[in-house]
Amino acid sequence: MEQEKRDIYNQAMKNVDEQTSCRSGLNTRDLKIALNKLREVDPARYRKAESGIVADLSACIAKIGRSFPERATEYKKQAIKLFPGNSAIANVAIVPKDPCDLSLAGLGARGKRAICRDRLAGEEKGPSLVVIPAKGSMKAFALGKYEVSVDEWNQFCASDGNCPVKKNTSGDLPITSVSSSEVKSYLAWISDKAKRKYRLPTRAEWEYAARAGQAKLDSNRNCKLNSRGIQKGDSLIKTEVGAQNRWGLVNHVGNARELVADRGGALVAIGGSFQTPMEDCTANLAESFSQADDITGFRVLREIVER
């Protein structure tokens, strides 16, 4: 009988080890059955082994969490039921995987798989972002592939309730005629919804991303031109229309001027607009900004936390 008891215990422990090793996922139902068998067959021996089991289970949940945070969160809830009040399991940190992984840096022009978007709690996904590589003391960051659109602004207004939805403007145009305080509110809202830090880019960050290591600008950018029968720059165009630069930014020069934070925190409008003469419409054109106007919009920067 003692030998049979040891055999049953050892088989149950083998089943526990198979689950907590994480080699083939985690089946908490099978784990519960095995744990109950251990506790029933030899309670004293189980009590000695419990801390090791908990440590292995915690490590398994943390490992799964690095790639599948939602799945790991559910496993953690089930594990707490198996070990009520256990602090080791309760303290397992599950860090959501960042969709804007550093492996995407500099690849934003290579199609949909190189674009990242954050989930917004209770909303549709956030703006399309591309990852800008680090340079010197400047850390890598994610930047809006496009200027923030009217549709994206209306999503904020409908959710937050502190601004009127713009009904008489095409939703795929860049949002303009918004004040700095309204932009600040939008950035606070999306930061809260995404649980990530969104802000305006600094002037240095914006210019670095806009140039993307290239000296040549798109000759067809939406700036003012009236020469040899070619007329451009009559109005705003859709945020997603236009050539992208090497890192995936679209309409970064021309279309709507974009707000950035200059030295000392002052806001300037950079990159020129559809009203800017083509010869002046460059990545380093910075103009003063004091109040909302119909040629100034913005694109978002989302910080990347390196782990």
DSSP string, 105-118: TT-TTS-GGG-B--
Are the C-beta atoms of residues 205 and 138 closer than 8 Å to each other? Answer: yes
The C-alpha angle 222, 223, 229, rounded to 5 degrees, equals 95
Q: Would strands 141-144 and 198-199 be described as parallel, antiparallel, or unpaired?
A: unpaired
- pLDDT on residue 307: 66
Structure tokens at 99: 């969709």
> What is the token pair recorded at 146?
């496009």
According to the model, what pLDDT value does residue 60 have? 94
Q: What is the chain's mean pLDDT, rounded?
A: 94
Contacts of 18 (CB under 8 A, 6+ apart): 24
What's the rounded Cα separation, in Å, for the pair 199 and 181?
Answer: 12
Residue 100: what pLDDT? 95
Alpha-carbon distance 208 to 206, whole Å?
Answer: 5
Res 130: pLDDT: 98
Residue 130 phi, psi dihedral angles, 5° rounding: -125, 150
Q: Write down the pTM of the prediction.
A: 0.77
Residue the block writes with tokens 């956030």: 126
| Strand ranges across the sheet with 141-144 | 129-132, 141-144, 301-303, 198-199
**Strand 267-270 relative to strand 301-303, pairing:** unpaired
Is residue 140 classed exposed, middle or buried when 0-12, 13-18 and 19+ CB atoms within 10 A define those classes? middle
Percent of the chain with pLDDT over 90: 83
Range 199-231 burial, b when 16+ CB lie within 10 A, else e: bbbbbebbbbbbbbeeeebbeebbbbbeeeeee
Number of Cβ within 10 Å of residue 31's Cβ equals: 22
Positions in the chain whose pLDDT score sits under 50: none
